[in-house]
Amino acid sequence: MMNHTFDALIVGAGQAGPSLAGRLTAAGWKVGFVERKNFGGTCVNTGCTPTKAMIASAKAAHTMRQAANYGLKPAPEFTVNLAQVKARKDNIVAASRASLEKWLQQMPGCTIFRGTAQFLSAISMQVGADVLEAKHIFLNVGGRPASPPLPGIGEVPYLTSSTILALEELPTHLVIVGAGAVGLEFAQMFRRLGSEVTIVERSSRLLPHDDEDVAAAVADILAAEGITLRLGAECISLGQEDGQPVVHVSCQDDPAPSRGSHLLLAMGRQPNTDDLALEKAGLNADARGYLPVDEELRTAVPGIWALGDCNGRGAFTHTSYNDFEIVAANLLDQGQRRVSDRLPVYAVYLDPPYARVGLTEAEVRAAGTPVLMGKRPMTKVGRAVEKGETKGFIKVLVHAETDQILGASIVGTGGDEAIHCIITAMYAQQTAAFMRRNVFIHPTVSELIPTVFGELKPLEEIAKPAGN
């Protein structure tokens, strides 16, 4: 065994870890950094970067098929070479990963260890033959696709959101169990690349944590592209017929099983905390494996923090990076930043995308909050019409008494970018009146946001969507 002493030990090279190492070493701290596999974590290796690269390829294929809709000569019949799509994706991932690894390797004051870290005590961890000791330990170990206890899961080959990225031949028919963001993005991606796609979902609708009109708009987008939706599948089990996967469901409208050439399970994620030997540090994960933390991301054990996907306080790249910012500000800048300072924001990268900030309509209705709502379909957004992408809408929620912005949802072209002007206004605690005075660039999707804030109506005057 070789013993090493550091000011800080960081475990995991996801979004929070490397940037924290940069701040700490710049402040003169001696940092030990542990990564057991690929630098960049989920985002770079199996999440944002590879999937958005493949979504771009799928978008290009879809656009070629739609040539006649834009007054162009229809493209000749073409097929997608998934191996080439994968190679493009792999090159993008490799470049991002290599850049991050090089930065850490050349960072003065940072020593990298490769392997799995396990606690020996509250101030020490073992990585192979090395014992690393530090008074500050930061766990940024991320998560992985969950394997739900479905009947038959051990008897059927299946893909996860990670392993599906290694395919080099298109599935003839991809059956996806799970209709969260991951399942929906892969569904549209592979449909546009040329596969038949079926989505099987327990809930009676898509996106059960979002508003009914959002779910309906997303369902319309997917169905229009030929994706089969099997909703309300309250009893799901897996099997095989002739060597191919079969998903047995119990649906009120159609109890027939779904058969396909490939099966993707997209039913959530679990944190990578089960092999850290937490008990030796006095740490206890919750029932789902997450490490409970306070508002400053400190665990119950002094000197140990949990950042990113393993703390259960956010499941996104942007929340992981913000975890780094909170910890660094409080440790180095005498800050008082807290997890609850951030707004709930996220997007589902369909085409067109869905983006959301703050409260939903269902939440404000349930709370009985006096609310005004503005809503405009994309058919009345000039930029969307010009692009030939008119599905979706812009919706904003405003407190009827204080004029404060409570939330917004945008389903539609450019929505993942346009929503940021509302996010910024909410962080600045600005009002609907402030938004109405903004003058945005024409022609854009964003330019209609002040208009939507000028078309507010009392929520009680607006019909309650079915299902809410």
Active site residues: 442
Give the strand pairing for 2-11 and 31-35.
Answer: parallel
Other C-beta atoms closer than 10 Å to the C-beta of 342 total 17
Which of 11, 15, 8 has the alpha carbon at shortest distance from 325? 15
CA 420, distance to chain mean position in Å, is 17
Burial of 109 (0-12, 13-18, 19+ CB in 10 A): middle
Which residues, 6 or more positions from 138, have their beta carbon under 8 angstroms from its beta carbon?
Answer: 8, 9, 10, 11, 16, 17, 20, 304, 305, 306, 307, 327
Measured at the CA of 456, the angle between CA 453 and CA 460, to 5 degrees, comes to 150
Strands (E), 272-317: 304-306
Tokens 């909050």 sit at which residue?
A: 369
Enter the tokens of residue 328: 């660094």
Which of 379, 352, 411, 456 has the alpha carbon at shortest distance from 212? 411
Q: Where are the alpha helices (DSSP H) in 10-135?
A: 17-26, 41-45, 48-65, 82-105
Enter the tokens of residue 446: 């964003």
Name the strand (E) or helix (H) holding 78.
none
Which residues, 6 or more positions from 238, have their beta carbon under 8 angstroms from its beta carbon?
Answer: 150, 151, 152, 153, 155, 156, 158, 245, 246, 247, 248, 263
Which residues, 6 or more positions from 18, have their beta carbon under 8 angstroms from its beta carbon?
Answer: 33, 39, 100, 103, 104
**C-alpha–C-alpha distance, residues 4 and 34, integer Å:** 13
Determine contact, residues 125/9, Cβ cutoff 8 Å.
yes
Burial of 64 (0-12, 13-18, 19+ CB in 10 A): middle
**C-alpha–C-alpha distance, residues 165 and 95, integer Å:** 17
Cα–Cα distances in angstroms (integers) from residue 68 to residues 16, 65, 71, 92, in the given order: 46, 8, 5, 31
Determine contact, residues 143/310, Cβ cutoff 8 Å.
yes
